Chains A and B, each alone.
Chain A
Amino acid sequence: MAIKKRFEELGEIARQVRIDVLTMLNRAGSGHTGGSLSAVEILTVLYFSKMRHHPKNPKWEDRDRFVLSKGHAAPTLYAVLARCGYFDLEELKSLRRIGSILQGHPDMNTTPGVEMSTGSLGQGLSVANGIAMGVRLDKKNARVYVLMGDGEIEEGQIWEAAMSAAHYKIDNLCALLDYNGLQIDGPVREVMNINPLADKWKSFGWHVFEGDGHDMECILDALHKAEKIKGRPSIIICNTIKGKGVSFFEGKVEYHGVAPTDEELERALKELCV
Chain B
Amino acid sequence: MRLKAERREELAKLLGTRNVYGEVLAELGEKYKNIVVLNADLSGSTKTNLFHKKFPHRFFNMGIAEQDMIGTAVGLATTGKIPFVSTFAIFAVGKPWEQIRQSIANPALNVKIVATHGGITVGEDGASHQCIEDIGLMRILPHMVVIVPADGIETKKIIEAIVEYQGPVYVRLSRMRFPVIFDESYDFKISKGNVIRKGKDVTIFATGFMVSQSLKAVKRLEDEGISTQLINISTIKPIDQELIINASRTTGAVVTAEEHSIIGGLGSAVAEVLSEHCPTPMKRIGIQDQPGTSGSPAELLDYYQLNPQHIISAVKEVLQQK
Separation in Å of the A110 CB from the closest CB of chain B?
10
A90 interface residue, CB < 8 Å from B?
no
Question: B36: which A residues are within 8 A, CB to CB?
Answer: 134, 137
CA distance A122 to B71 in the complex (A): 10
Within the complex, which residue of B63, B76, B79, B80 is in contact with A164, where a contact is CB–CB below 8 Å? B63
- Which interface class (under 10, 10 to 19, 20 to 34, 35 or more) fits A? 20 to 34
User: Can you name the residue of chain A whose Cβ is closest to the Cβ of B57?
Assistant: A137
Q: Which has the most chain B C-beta neighbours within 10 Å: A125, A131, A134, A167?
A: A134
Separation in Å of the B85 CB from the closest CB of chain A?
11
A57 interface residue, CB < 8 Å from B?
no
Residue interface bits A126-149, CB-to-B below 8 A is 1, else 0:
111111111101100000000000
User: Can you name the residue of chain A whose Cβ is closest to the Cβ of B83?
Assistant: A130
Interface size on B, residues (CB 8 A): 30
Separation in Å of the B42 CB from the closest CB of chain A?
16
CA distance A133 to B80 in the complex (A): 12
User: Can you name the residue of chain A whose Cβ is closest to the Cβ of B73?
Assistant: A130
User: Can you name the residue of chain A whose Cβ is closest to the Cβ of B80?
Assistant: A134
Q: Is the interface of B mostly helix, strand, loop or mixed?
A: helix
Contact yes or no, A119 B78, CB < 8 A: no
Question: A109: which B residues are within 8 A, CB to CB?
Answer: 107-108
Given A123-B71, A129-B71, A156-B67, are A168 and B60 neighbors across the interface (CB < 8 Å)? yes
Separation in Å of the B189 CB from the closest CB of chain A?
27
Separation in Å of the B8 CB from the closest CB of chain A?
47
Q: Which B residues from 66 to 95 make CB contacts under 8 A with A?
A: 67-81, 83
A108 interface residue, CB < 8 Å from B?
yes
Q: Using a Cβ cutoff of 8 Å, how many contacts connect chains A and B?
A: 106
Given A126-B67, A137-B36, A137-B57, are A157 and B75 neighbors across the interface (CB < 8 Å)? no
CA distance A164 to B83 in the complex (A): 17
Question: B57: which A residues are within 8 A, CB to CB?
Answer: 137
Given A120-B98, A126-B70, A168-B60, are A132 and B75 neighbors across the interface (CB < 8 Å)? yes
For this complex, 11 residue pairs linking A to B, each with C-beta atoms less than 8 Å apart, are: A107-B107, A109-B108, A120-B99, A127-B103, A130-B73, A130-B83, A132-B75, A138-B80, A157-B65, A163-B65, A163-B68
Chain B residues close to A by CB (< 8 Å) = 36, 57-58, 60, 62-63, 65, 67-81, 83, 98-99, 102-103, 106-108
Known: A109-B108, A156-B67. 14 other contacts (CB 8 A): A108-B107, A118-B102, A120-B98, A120-B99, A123-B99, A126-B70, A127-B71, A127-B103, A130-B79, A131-B79, A133-B76, A157-B71, A163-B68, A167-B63
**7 closest A-B pairs (Cβ-Cβ)?**
A130-B75, A126-B71, A134-B79, A160-B68, A160-B65, A130-B72, A131-B75
